[in-house]
């Protein structure tokens, strides 16, 4: 049955390229996010010439062909490189250097291959970022993508509820009900088979719901009806992930939305009240948040919390031994064994043996050294600055400001997850980040370009008037 459904989905995706009127890359990226989340290799895959072919990879090829078709017909807007583009490509260049300089197959058993880690975690999201960067974002191209992602959020939320209530016969795809696949069985984990990825997608849907329908149509009844209906559904599903970093991401979204949507005394009173509520809630619920029952006992949840200290300690020891170049991309698990035998600390280092890194910031520092971590930080800062330029620009459209607020929300969620997890083992997390940042980059380029054209036109008119006054009668 799943094979029949997979063939139907694949056929629908092929036809989607035809029916999308202007071959919209943004809509194609939203479809890719759904495909890579819902139809991974666990759902259906085939071997062709030794390569594993999945639904999302087929769609990615179609999306590349779509962009080439647009370029051929001059429907794209090839934009000049900016500083953020340069820093991103420099980071990716260093990432590739530290990948190819590591012997192929230098991984521990059961670990994702270094090449696939590079492709899924970084190169595919960067590819999608480039496509979005050179697309033409108009309201008619944005709304199909928004609609697809919100419908995706409804599906994920209902799936999360069905998982927790153990209604396995209603769950689709059926592999979600297999406890041998993925991790976090017992929490809501969705087709990603991991609660963190499910939570990131749900946070995207929550942020998108408020930054586009509500922000743009605050006086429309249908927008508020949609928000009132979907917000509790998304929040409940986020709660059912039983993942603290995902809950923190949802709180960050709420704070950013309040800061950007409210004004004057209302904002001050609301944020002050929220701050007091968080402080009191932290004092009352803080201890219970460190250890609570989810797919395993309270003691194991507490042990998971304590493991963060072990990851930090080992990472800093490894960084001291190779501070500039790092150990090579995807090499934390390979190189960590000697450091776990350290008996000069009371931290139980042995608890992290066999685990992938649980902090992306430290992972970058260990794998890529100061060079890679610095390039990543500069690229991130440059893209954050692009979002800020859009937000404060006096002539920015409502769509551009909505895109900027969405980017702030996704950046906050992503940064929180990076502090507690490694978020580059699939294409989902960084694709979401690149989708939001790519939109903001397009809006920023259009705003700056339009300002430059107005300044040049004003100077031209001024020069013409000066010439006319200076000319003899």
On the question of pLDDT at 262 being above 80, the answer is no
On the question of pLDDT at 15 being above 80, the answer is no
Query: Chain-wide mean pLDDT for the chain?
Result: 82
pLDDT in the model for residue 383: 93
Cis ω before 211 (30° cut-off from 0): no
- pLDDT tens for each residue of 427-453: 999 999 999 999 999 999 888 866 555
- pLDDT tens for each residue of 59-98: 888 788 778 877 777 777 788 888 999 999 999 999 999 9
Give the bridge partners for 212, in sequence order. Answer: none
- Of 122-126, 200-204, 214-218, 280-284, the poorest mean pLDDT is in 280-284
How many residues are present in the chain? 473
Residue 337 or residue 415, greater confidence: 415
Residue range 352-372: mean pLDDT, rounded? 89
Q: 168: which 2 tokens?
A: 């396995």
- Of 106-110, 244-248, 351-355, the poorest mean pLDDT is in 106-110
Residue range 125-153: mean pLDDT, rounded? 89
Torsion of CA 79, 83, 84, 89, to 10 degrees: 90
Q: Which of the listed ranges 216-220, 363-367, 454-458 does the model predict with the highest average pLDDT?
A: 363-367
Asked if 307 and 355 touch (Cβ cutoff 8 Å), the reply is yes
On the question of pLDDT at 468 being above 70, the answer is no
Residue range 329-353: mean pLDDT, rounded? 82
Q: Band of the pLDDT at 473, cuts 50, 70, 90?
A: very low
Q: Band of the pLDDT at 456, cuts 50, 70, 90?
A: very low
The CA distance from 274 to 122, in Å, is 36
Residue 311 or residue 200, greater confidence: 200
pLDDT in the model for residue 150: 95
Strands 51-53 and 46-48: antiparallel
Q: 243: which 2 tokens?
A: 């993942």
The CA distance from 313 to 291, in Å, is 22
- pLDDT tens for each residue of 152-194: 999 999 999 999 999 998 998 888 988 888 888 888 999 999 9
Q: 469: which 2 tokens?
A: 């006054």
- Of 17-26, 169-178, 319-328, 388-397, the poorest mean pLDDT is in 17-26
Global pTM? 0.86
């Amino acid at each position: 049955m799943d094979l029949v459904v997979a063939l139907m989905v694949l056929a629908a995706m092929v036809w989607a390229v035809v029916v999308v009127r202007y071959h919209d890359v943004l809509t194609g990226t939203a479809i890719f996010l759904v495909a890579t989340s819902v139809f991974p290799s666990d759902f259906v895959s085939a071997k062709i010439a030794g390569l594993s072919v999945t639904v999302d990879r087929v769609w990615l090829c179609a999306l590349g062909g779509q962009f080439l078709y647009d370029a051929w017909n001059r429907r794209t807007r090839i934009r000049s490189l900016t500083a953020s583009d340069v820093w991103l490509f420099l980071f990716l260049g260093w990432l590739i250097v530290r990948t190819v300089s590591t012997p192929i197959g230098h991984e521990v058993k059961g670990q994702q291959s270094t090449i696939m880690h590079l492709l899924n975690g970084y190169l595919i999201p960067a590819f999608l970022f480039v496509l979005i960067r050179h697309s033409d974002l108009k309201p008619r191209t944005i709304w199909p993508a928004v609609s697809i992602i919100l419908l995706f959020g409804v599906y994920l939320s209902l799936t999360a509820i069905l998982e927790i209530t153990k209604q396995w016969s209603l769950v689709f795809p059926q592999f979600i009900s297999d406890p041998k696949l993925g991790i976090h069985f017992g929490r809501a984990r969705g087709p990603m088979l991991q609660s963190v990825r499910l939570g990131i997608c749900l946070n995207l849907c929550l942020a998108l719901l408020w930054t586009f329908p509500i922000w743009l149509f605050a006086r429309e009844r249908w927008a508020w009806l949609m928000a009132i209906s979907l917000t509790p559904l998304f929040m409940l599903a986020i709660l059912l992930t039983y993942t603290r970093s995902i809950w923190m991401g949802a709180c960050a979204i709420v704070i950013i939305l309040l800061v950007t949507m409210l004004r004057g005394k209302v904002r001050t009173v609301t944020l002050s009240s929220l701050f007091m509520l968080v402080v009191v809630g932290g004092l009352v619920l803080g201890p219970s948040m460190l250890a609570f029952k989810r797919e395993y006992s309270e003691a194991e949840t507490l042990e998971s919390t304590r493991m963060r200290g072990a990851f930090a300690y080992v990472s800093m020891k490894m960084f001291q031994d190779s501070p500039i170049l790092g150990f090579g991309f995807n090499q934390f698990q390979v190189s960590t064994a000697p450091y776990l035998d350290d008996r000069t600390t009371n931290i139980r280092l042995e608890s992290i043996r066999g685990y992938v890194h649980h902090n992306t910031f430290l992972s970058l520092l260990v794998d890529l050294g100061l060079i890679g971590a610095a390039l990543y930080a500069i690229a991130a800062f440059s893209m954050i600055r692009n979002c800020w330029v859009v937000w404060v620009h006096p002539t920015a459209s409502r769509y551009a400001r909505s895109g900027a607020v969405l980017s702030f929300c996704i950046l906050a969620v992503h940064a929180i997850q990076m502090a507690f997890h490694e978020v580059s083992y699939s294409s989902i997390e960084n694709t979401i980040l690149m989708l939001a940042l790519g939109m903001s980059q397009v809006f920023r380029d259009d705003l700056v370009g339009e300002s430059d054209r107005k300044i040049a036109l004003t100077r031209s008119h001024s020069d013409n008037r000066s010439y006319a006054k200076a000319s003899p009668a």
